[in-house]
Structure formats: C-alpha cells, structure tokens
A and B are shown apart, each in its own frame.
Chain A
Amino acid sequence: MELKTKIHAEEGKSDLMITREFDLPAELVFRAHVEPELFEQWMSHEYGTVKVVKFESRRHGSWEFENAGPDGTVVFRANGTIHEFVPNRKITRTFEMDGSPFDVQLEFLEFEELTEDTSRLTIHSVYRSVQLRDQMLKRPFAAGLSMAHDRLQNVIGKLKQETTK
C-alpha cells in the first residue's frame, strides 16, 4: 500500500520535511497535537506507551513526555519549549530527547486546511548538523537491522541448543 506520508531530506542539508495529508479537518489534527490524552493515544504503540508530563500549549509554554517500555520502565523522555502557537494553524517548538546524543532540534508544524474534511500537516525539522539529521533519519533503519539481527541470533541460538541436546 502506498504510504501517505512523504519525507523530503536533501543530501547535505541539516533539515528535513515530513508531509502528510489527513482525512480530517485541520482543527482535529491540531487538537491531536495539543491535548495530552489524544497525543498519548496516537503516539503510543506496542513497544512504548507515551505519557504526557507537561503540555503547556501556548507561546513560551513548555512540554515534556515520557515513553515507557512494555514493562513500564521509562525508556526516554523528550521535552521542549513552544515559541509560536497559532491555534489550528501553526506550532513552532523545540524538541530534545533527554540524555541522547542529539542536540535540540527546531520544529515548525503547519496545519493547512485543504477541504472542509481534509488537511495537510507539514513538519519542518531543523537539526544542528547534517550528521545529526542523517543519524536521526537512519535510526528506524538501524533499529530494523538490529531487530532482524536479534531475531537471527535467537534462531541461531535455538538451533545450537537443539544440536547440543
């Protein structure tokens, strides 16, 4: 199936663009980004539960959330400050992952109405360096590789056990 999300990341640049069209009015996509209980719902998945610690949805407000693994231990925390807050239109904010090698990044979220029931979200993320951006882009790719590697190790481990029996 064709993915509805587009990523634009030019080589040698320290920023990237994420674009997605929704079968939702811009207002609802915006709400999903500012109301803690909604944000927690769509950001959580089988490997991690997102819990909002603080969500001050206003100019100069700050935000923080934590992501807990299946056993409940916090895997990482992320936080930032809001610089611009235009309801249903735009959020400019910083994003920082606690204790990660990634420096703080700047994010511009723009919510655009296409029709009454459809909208487009554009996230423009600016990193401190080209290397950091590329590292971030490769993270899910690397995670996929290491997961595949783990699975392989598991299979090999089982095979070994069976042959030594």
Chain B
Amino acid sequence: MYIIIVGGGRVGYYLTKALLEEGHEILVIEKNQAYCDIINEELGSVCVRGDGCEVTTLTEVGTARANMLIAVTGDDGDNLVACQVAKHKFNVPRTVARIRNPRNEALFEKLGVDITISSTNVLLEKIADVVPTHPVTHLHEIRDKGLEIVEVRIPAGAASVGKAVKDISLPAGTILSLIIRKAQKPIPPTPNTTIQAEDQVVAVIDPKAEAEVRKALRGMN
C-alpha cells in the first residue's frame, strides 16, 4: 500500500517506522527541516520537506495514487485540511486524522475524514482502564462494522451472578465470546455457562448499547 503521512513529529516518526516494517511504501511530508533530517537519516529517505495541506506538494508526491493519507500533525486544522484536500482533490480512498480536541470527532467525520483518532480520548481511556474499579475496558473498536470488543468485570452481588448466559437479557447483537476466570483457563461460554462473581467477560457489542450491556452484566440485584 502507498501511504502518505502528513507530520513527521513523534507520532509521525513512530508510525512511519511501524508501517515501513510492515512493508508499505511510505512517504512523510514534514515542514520542519530538522525533523525531516532525523527521519531520512534514521528510517531511510522517505521524508519530503513541505506543507502537506498544499495541493502542489501533494501533487509532487503522487497523492493521486495513494491508498491512504494519515495526518498526524499536532494541529487539528492542519490535519483536517490535509485530509479534505486528499479526499476531494486527489480522491484518496481512505483518510485518517489525528485530533486533539475530542469534540472535532463528529465534525471531521461529517466533513469527509474517514477515520479520526483522538489522542486525548485514547489516553483518557487507557488511564481509566488501568483503574481497577473501572467497569468496562475497551479492547478494540471495529469502526466500519459498528462493533466494539470490551471486557466487563462482574462484581460480586451483580444480578447476572449465578445466571446462565442464555437467561441474561442482552441488547441484540451482543456476543459474549470469552470468560476469563481466576485460576482457570479462559472458557468460550455456551448458552448454559453460568456467570460467576469476579469473571472477566469479553464481549462483542454495539458501542451504542454499551450502557445496556453494562447494566445487564453488572447491574446489582
């Protein structure tokens, strides 16, 4: 895949490194000469100095044949414009923008950015997940399918404790795929598996139904 990365700062650097290792063709556009030099010296000459929001720069680097453009500068405006130019001028099939302000998420998606990654939200979630009392851990999001994989911890005293999976009323589309129980091997649950206190349940859910799932599994008697 030919992937263009706009922004060669810390995020851009490590992203480039990871994607090169996966064997992709990568080109980085970075305004700052010093950052360009670091990338070109350490990762091979993959970085062009320029403004990734400018049509001329994007033309030069062959954006018309890019499969994907990922904008990871520290500025939401720059990332939005790079993605919009790529999408509307060069018909890049997939554009990804890093965003700082979590509120821009919905707006960017409305404006033609295919995927947004809010570094602030990711960080907040990761921190929340390591708090031991945190009820639901978000393990993975499959955004184009509208699915999310979460881990739910079952507290002692939850209404679901002692119930068989088939008797718990879960929102449509929820799949309980794994139960991790202390001192046991993980069990793929059957309809007759009984939930126990302290179980960690891995489930595929519709993100919109997260509150309902949480209530069904963790709601108290």
Q: Real complex partners, A and B?
A: no
List the interface of chain A (C-beta within 8 A of B).
none
